[in-house]
Structure 1
Amino acid sequence: MGETQLREPLDDRIAGSDGELHDDIVAALDSGEAEAVRGLAGALHVADLADLIEHLSHDQRRVLFASLGDDLDPELLSELHGPVLAEVLDLIGPRETAAALSQLDTDDAVYVLNEFDDEQQAEVLAELPADERATLQEGLSYPEDSAGRLMQPDVVAVPDFWTVGRLLEFLRNEAELPDRFFEIEIVDGERRPVGKLPLDRVLRSNADLPLGMIMEEAEHLIPVDMDQEEVAFLFQQYRLVSAAVVDREGRLAGVIMADDVADVIEEEVEEDAMLLGGVAETDIQESVWTTTRTRFAWLFVNLGTAFLASAVIGLFDAEIEKIVALAVLMPIVASMGGNAATQTLTVAVRTLATRELTSTNAKRVVLKEVLVGAINGLVFAAIVGAIGFAWFGNFDLGIVFGLAMIINMVAAALAGVLVPLTLERVGVDPAVASGVFVTTVTDVVGFFAFLGLASVILL
């Protein structure tokens, strides 16, 4: 991204107490006042303008882009997401989109193209010069969410036998340098990375020193097909500013910058949070039919597990008929277990994503969660047992209520950590599938424990 002037956040100006700027922009859009739109929206930071665009209707977006015209900042495209970005292509056309992509860093241009379908990609690529088209097609050829998609192929790479003076002369005179870089990649005769050199060290070193004497040894080289989550972990773990990306032969293919990884971390956290609820980040921008279709599958699976829990209840229908209090109290057992499991599951999925939970400490974490569940179960057993006795005047019912609470709280703790661990072991994203399995465990165990104990102790 290019340098931009700091401005007050859009939330303070648009979504503030009076929302005056928001109202002014919308009013100008609705009335088609191009000059007013340019004056109000054209001065916004591209990130704030992107937020604004995602709040607007299709007609308002059409007026906005028509009003901005040539004043449109190409960086805006890299700030938009999903269906909104695809809609922008229709609004400004393939030729204008291609012109904007030509001014973006390659990784940002690849990101924008990836949001389009195959037909839209072909239309935009056809408008680009052959060399730029080839570069972007190469970026698109890498697996989605891989290092190859994140990397910037334009990189400053020089041999280790150069001196500091020669490097400085090269940097002053070379016209095809990246817009931003913080480290120089040092390569051998076959363009394999052998080290890197921070710019501050270059500026502090004598001009006659060979680069090989002052460079840092090449570490944390990233294969082009490494998953972006792995890349983000390396940057977090080793506090990297940038990292070289290598192809299958070990040759330098590009470089990934820390700001690109920051976007990945935010994206992965949001994605996991959304997937735990069976929704997507772009749901608010999708059509009614698309959102309904994507949520249906998740709800259908939950329907199946709900019938499983109901089947467990059906096994004890005679007991429920005899003691109505069982029907009153059993949802409490399942609900408490579900909430406890959600707490454990949230921690487990997060620590798996950040690699704080691994096979090395899994047993200790499982034991800890079981102890937490047992302690909470005992405390709440005393509370609900007393409530059950006071409510229905039946001491044995209070005992059943309390014991079932202990059993389900322990089961919830176990399921909350073991389910995501197991799913990750078999190659399934824990954020996607854990919730439905954990809910099933707490419902089935909660109902079975409560009704089973009631049938033994009360009847």
Structure 2
Amino acid sequence: MSETEPDTLAPEVREDELDEDDLLKPEFVRAVLDAVEEERPEEARALVEPLHPADVADLFEIVPADRRRDLAKAIHDLVDADVFAELNDYVREELIDALDAREVADIASELDTDDAVAILEDMDVEDQREVLRAMEPDDRAAIEEALSYPEESAGRLMQRDLVAVPEHWTVGDVLDYLRGHDELTTDFWEIFVVDPAHKPVGTCALSWILRTPRRIPVGDVMAREQTLIPVDMDQEEVALRFQKYALISAAVVDGNGRLVGMITVDDVVHIIQEEAGEDTLLLSGAGDGDINEPIALTVRTRLTWLVVNLGTAMLASSVVGLFQGEIAKFALLAVLMPIVSGMGGNAGTQTLAVVVRAIATNQLTDTNTWRMVRREITIAMANGASLGVLIGLGTLLVFHNPGLSVVICLAMIINNLIAGLGGVLVPITLDRLRVDPAVSSAVFVTTLTDTGGFLSFLGLATLWGLGG
């Protein structure tokens, strides 16, 4: 996302539109929609004009989908590039469809390259080409280059507008250069120092430049240690580097080590939020989880995983079928067995969430993998024993059957151990096989805990002779 201007609205103005959580008030939204519906565009524009671009984007996301185009038509002069940069992907795509190629090209030209790419990358190929043809040659070349990089890579995320100076310049040369070139980018925190081959050799924070005498060479004040981002690095890895090294911006280099762009922290904050939410939703098979996602797409995504889960449920059911004779003789088995499988499923989900997060944040490495496995086994055994004793005592008090109490206690311990092992080994194995553990792990772990719970409880009950 591109950085927008700081919020300068007067508090008394904001009180009319936003609540204490900086969310648009329902009565304000209704007032805008009423003005649009009653064909009073001047009133709608007057209401919306004081809003920050991010709040205007929120307004479009809040209103019903069938009202968005009318709203855009009424306040079209306020829907600028900054608003499009803040819009939800699905809402932005919907509004883009209502514009012609020239209008989309004008909006994209005003945005940073990464934000312009975000608008164009999801368009149909023919529409994308039409928009690119309508753009100025320099803007078109920058966006076409960005689109040539893999999706969710540093090449798509980076900005081309940056400040780079040669190492032999003095601080005075840099200041004169910054003041004498109006076309330079206005949003930057550090200056990149490059060698004659345009390879980055260091960085200078703006604060250093401003506080250093003009005669001092840049090479004497720059920091030579810097974090360089390969242009094909995945955006999640980029975010992890920013987080680990507390970066504000970083240089992006091509395969030959030449400086081709920069990534700033405002873009990375968005990526961290996006990746964290994405892994959580993938674990549940809920797709993007966006409330603006088309219903048909949501149904298709969720139904796919529900069908897979149906298959695993049938597998667990077949295990129960093996013991239908014992269940028919001792009906309490049918009452208690869901407790064992259910608690195992919950324990497996806890472990799975921790391990997937550790993989995603690079906390889990080849060095500490087995330590993580031993840790989760220890936790599973401790939790299983505690839960087993509790459910065993509860069963004894309610049903007065010592044998049944021992069986359910042992089954709880066994299934918690299965849950712990599955929760840690399944995602690690999938990661080693280059399969995203956030996508597939939950199905396997659920299957393990269901079948393990039924098999351990009913199997122990049969061995104990409870159904005899």
TM-score, normalised with respect to structure 2: 0.94
Find the aligned partners of 1:132 and 1:64 in 2 and give their Cα distance.
29
Pairs within 5 Å for 1:166-315: 166-281=173-288, 283-315=290-322
Pairs within 5 Å for 1:370-385: 370-385=377-392
Structure-1 residue corresponding to 2:45:
38
The one-letter code sitting in structure 2 at the alignment partner of 1:68 is: I
Structure-1 residue corresponding to 2:340:
333
Q: Is the 8 A contact 2:18 2:24 kept in 1?
A: no
After superposition, the C-alpha distances for 1:310-369 in whole angstroms (9 at most, x for unaligned) are: 111111111111111111100010110111111111111112111222222222222222
2:134 maps to which of 127, 136, 140: 127
Find the aligned partners of 2:22 and 2:311 in 1 and give their Cα distance.
41
Q: 1:280 Cα deviation (Å)?
A: 2.6
After superposition, the C-alpha distances for 1:165-198 in whole angstroms (9 at most, x for unaligned) are: 1111101101221121111111111101111111
Q: Give the SS at the match of 1:177.
A: coil
Structure-2 residue corresponding to 1:117:
124
CA separation of 1:176/1:16 partners in 2, compared to 1, >3 Å: closer, same or farther?
A: closer
Q: Is the 8 A contact 1:82 1:282 kept in 2?
A: no
Structure-2 residue corresponding to 1:387:
394
Structure-2 residue corresponding to 1:399:
406
Structure-1 residue corresponding to 2:325:
318
Name the stretch that deviates more: 260-269 or 415-424: 415-424
Find the aligned partners of 1:396 and 1:228 in 2 and give their Cα distance.
56
Q: Give the SS at the match of 1:225.
A: coil
Q: 1:122 Cα deviation (Å)?
A: 1.9
CA separation of 1:11/1:401 partners in 2, compared to 1, >3 Å: closer, same or farther?
A: farther
Q: Is the 8 A contact 1:146 1:226 kept in 2?
A: yes
* 1:359 to 2:361 alignment: no
Q: 1:17 Cα deviation (Å)?
A: 11
Q: 1:81 Cα deviation (Å)?
A: 2.7
Structure-1 residue corresponding to 2:375:
368
* 1:107 to 2:114 alignment: yes
Structure-2 residue corresponding to 1:66:
73
Name the stretch that deviates more: 297-306 or 11-20: 11-20
Q: 1:286 Cα deviation (Å)?
A: 2.9
CA separation of 1:22/1:84 partners in 2, compared to 1, >3 Å: closer, same or farther?
A: same
Write out the 4+ residue segments of structure 1 that deviate beyond 6 Å after TM superposition.
13-18
The one-letter code sitting in structure 2 at the alignment partner of 1:304 is: G
Q: Is the 8 A contact 2:192 2:203 kept in 1?
A: yes
Gaps in structure 1 of 5+ consecutive residues: none
Structure-2 residue corresponding to 1:5:
7
Gaps in structure 2 of 5+ consecutive residues: none
Structure-2 residue corresponding to 1:433:
440
Q: 1:301 Cα deviation (Å)?
A: 1.1
Q: Is the 8 A contact 1:404 1:450 kept in 2?
A: yes
Q: Is the 8 A contact 2:18 2:25 kept in 1?
A: no
Q: Give the SS at the match of 1:255.
A: strand
After superposition, the C-alpha distances for 1:212-234 in whole angstroms (9 at most, x for unaligned) are: 11111142211100001111111
Find the aligned partners of 1:2 and 1:309 in 2 and give their Cα distance.
53
CA separation of 1:244/1:18 partners in 2, compared to 1, >3 Å: closer, same or farther?
A: closer
Q: 1:15 Cα deviation (Å)?
A: 9.2
Q: 1:3 Cα deviation (Å)?
A: 1.1
The one-letter code sitting in structure 1 at the alignment partner of 2:316 is: A
Q: 1:209 Cα deviation (Å)?
A: 1.3
Q: Give the SS at the match of 1:116.
A: coil
Structure-2 residue corresponding to 1:422:
429
The one-letter code sitting in structure 2 at the alignment partner of 1:3 is: E
After superposition, the C-alpha distances for 1:281-318 in whole angstroms (9 at most, x for unaligned) are: 35422333222112222111111111111111111111
Q: 1:148 Cα deviation (Å)?
A: 0.4
CA separation of 1:111/1:381 partners in 2, compared to 1, >3 Å: closer, same or farther?
A: same
Structure-1 residue corresponding to 2:102:
95
Q: Is the 8 A contact 1:98 1:128 kept in 2?
A: yes
Q: Give the SS at the match of 1:194.
A: strand
After superposition, the C-alpha distances for 1:140-161 in whole angstroms (9 at most, x for unaligned) are: 1111000001111111111100
* 1:451 to 2:458 alignment: yes
Q: Is the 8 A contact 2:146 2:155 kept in 1?
A: yes
Find the aligned partners of 1:390 and 1:309 in 2 and give their Cα distance.
29
Q: 1:370 Cα deviation (Å)?
A: 1.4
Q: 1:403 Cα deviation (Å)?
A: 0.5
Q: Is the 8 A contact 1:241 1:257 kept in 2?
A: yes
Find the aligned partners of 1:44 and 1:15 in 2 and give their Cα distance.
11
Q: Is the 8 A contact 1:14 1:20 kept in 2?
A: no
CA separation of 1:232/1:322 partners in 2, compared to 1, >3 Å: closer, same or farther?
A: same
Name the stretch that deviates more: 403-412 or 39-48: 39-48
Find the aligned partners of 2:250 and 2:193 in 1 and give their Cα distance.
12
Find the aligned partners of 2:222 and 2:24 in 1 and give their Cα distance.
54
Aligned residues: 459
The one-letter code sitting in structure 1 at the alignment partner of 2:435 is: V
Find the aligned partners of 1:12 and 1:74 in 2 and give their Cα distance.
26
Find the aligned partners of 1:258 and 1:151 in 2 and give their Cα distance.
11
Q: Is the 8 A contact 2:19 2:25 kept in 1?
A: no
Q: Give the SS at the match of 1:217.
A: coil
1:79 maps to which of 78, 86, 92: 86
The one-letter code sitting in structure 2 at the alignment partner of 1:175 is: D
Q: Give the SS at the match of 2:395.
A: helix
TM-score, normalised with respect to structure 1: 0.96
Q: 1:205 Cα deviation (Å)?
A: 1.2
Q: 1:243 Cα deviation (Å)?
A: 0.6
Structure-2 residue corresponding to 1:139:
146
